[in-house]
Structure 1
Amino acid sequence: MRVWRHLADLVASHGAAALVSVHEVKGSAPREVGARMVVRPDGAYRGTIGGGQLEFRMLDIAREMLERKERSARIVDQALGPDLGQCCGGRVKVLIETFDPQDLADLKPLLTAEAEGGAFQVECRLDHGRVRRELSSAVGDDSWTEWRETHGEALTSVLLFGAGHVGRALVLALAPLPFSIRWFDDREGAFPSHIPGNATAIALRDPEAEIAEADPHSLILVMTHDHPLDMAITAAALRRGFPYVGLIGSATKRARFEKRFRELGLSEGRIGSLVCPIGLPGIVGKEPAIVAASVAAQLLQVRERLNFSPLSASNDKSAL
Structure 2
Amino acid sequence: MSDWINELATLHASGEAFALVSVIRVRGSAPRERGARMMVTTDRVVGTIGGGGLEHQAIEQARTQLHSGEDLELSAELTPAHDQICGGAVDLLIEIFNSGPRLILFGAGHVARALTQVMQGTGVRIECVDAREDQLQHPEMPASVIRHLEHGPDFAGSARFQPARSIVCVMTHSHELDLDLLRTLLPQAPAWLGLMGSKTKWHNFRRSLLAEGFSEPQVDGIHCPLGSRKLGKLPREIAISIATDLLERIHAGE
Alignment-derived partner of residue 225 in structure 1: 173
Aligned equivalents of 1:211, 1:271: Cα separation in 2: 18
Give the partner amino acid of 1:183. C
Decide which of 135, 148, 152 is 1:202's aligned counterpart: 148
Aligned to 1:291: 238
| Correspondence list, 1:50-199, <5 A | 155-191=100-136, 192-193=138-139, 195-199=141-145
Q: CA shift at 1:161, angstroms?
A: 0.8
* Equivalent AA in structure 1 for residue 156 of structure 2: E
Tell me the CA shift for residue 197 of structure 1.
Answer: 4.6
Taking a change above 3 Å as real, the CA distance of residues 154 and 250 of structure 1, as seen in their structure-2 partners, is same
Kindly provide the amino acid, as one letter, of the partner of residue 102 in structure 2: S
Match of 2:195 among 247, 250, 270: 247
- The answer on whether the counterparts of 1:208 and 1:233 sit within 8 Å (CA) in structure 2 is no
Per-residue displacement from partner, 1:91-112 (whole Å, max 9, x unpaired)? Answer: xxxxxxxxxxxxxxxxxxxxx9
Q: Is the 8 A contact 2:104 2:169 kept in 1?
A: yes
CA change 1:194–1:226 in 2 (3 A) is closer
Give the aligned partner of residue 238 of structure 1.
186
Task: Find the aligned partners of 2:117 and 2:251 in 1 and give their Cα distance.
Answer: 20
Q: Secondary structure at the match of 1:283?
A: helix
Say if 2:156 and 2:184, in contact at 8 Å, map to a contact too: no
Please list every run of at least 4 consecutive aligned residues from structure 1 whose deviation after the TM superposition is greater than 3 angstroms.
115-118, 136-140, 152-155
Tell me: CA distance 1:209–1:164, structure 2 relative to 1, closer, same or farther (3 Å): closer
**Separation (CA, whole Å) in 2 of partners of 1:234 and 1:283:** 26
SS in 2 for 1:176: coil
Q: Per the alignment, do residues 188 and 169 of structure 1 end up closer, same or farther by CA in structure 2, a change over 3 Å counting?
A: same
Partner Cα separation in structure 1 for residue 248 and residue 146 of structure 2: 23
Determine the C-alpha separation between the residues in 1 that align with 2:226 and 2:114: 14
Could you tell me which residue of structure 2 aligns to residue 302 of structure 1? 249
Q: Give TM-score scaled by structure 1 length.
A: 0.46
Deviations 1:2-41 (A, max 9, x none): xxxxxxxxxxxxxxxxxxxxxxxxxxxxxxxxxxxxxxxx
| Runs (5+) with no aligned partner, structure 2 | 1-8, 18-70, 76-96
Unaligned runs of 5+ in 1: 1-111, 119-135, 141-151, 308-320
**Cα distance between partner residues in 1 of 2:149 and 2:190:** 22
* Letter paired with 1:199: V
CA drift of 1:243 comes to: 2.3
Q: Would you say the 8 A contact 2:106–2:169 is kept in 1?
A: yes
Q: Give the AA of the match of 2:179.
A: M
- 2-side partners of 1:187 and 1:202: how far apart? 10
- More divergent stretch after superposition (286-295 vs 174-183): 174-183
Q: Check 1:231–1:250 CA distance in 2 against 1; reply closer, same or farther (3 A cut).
A: same
Compared CA separation, residues 267 and 199, structure 1 to 2 (3 A): same
Shift in Å, 1:306: 2.1
- Specify the SS of the correspondent of 2:127: strand
Give the 3-state SS of the residue equivalent to 1:259 in structure 2: helix
Deviations 1:58-113 (A, max 9, x none): xxxxxxxxxxxxxxxxxxxxxxxxxxxxxxxxxxxxxxxxxxxxxxxxxxxxxx9x
| Residues in 2 aligned to 1:138 and 1:218: alpha-carbon distance in whole angstroms | 27
Give the percent of matched residue pairs that are identical in Structure 1 and Structure 2: 28
- SS of the counterpart of 1:294? helix
Matched AA of 2:201: K
Give the superposed CA RMSD: 2.9
CA contact (8 A) 2:130 2:152 kept: no
Could you tell me how far apart the structure 2 residues matched to 1:243 and 1:137 are? 24
**Alpha-carbon distance, 1:217 to partner:** 2.0
Report Cα offsets for 1:246-287 as digits up to 9, x if no partner: 1110100000000110122110001111111001x4735111
Deviations 1:97-152 (A, max 9, x none): xxxxxxxxxxxxxxx9xx9999xxxxxxxxxxxxxxxxx86899xxxxxxxxxxx9
Q: What is the aligned length?
A: 165
C-alpha distance 265-282 of structure 1, shift in aligned 2 (>3 A): same
Higher alpha-carbon Rg: 1
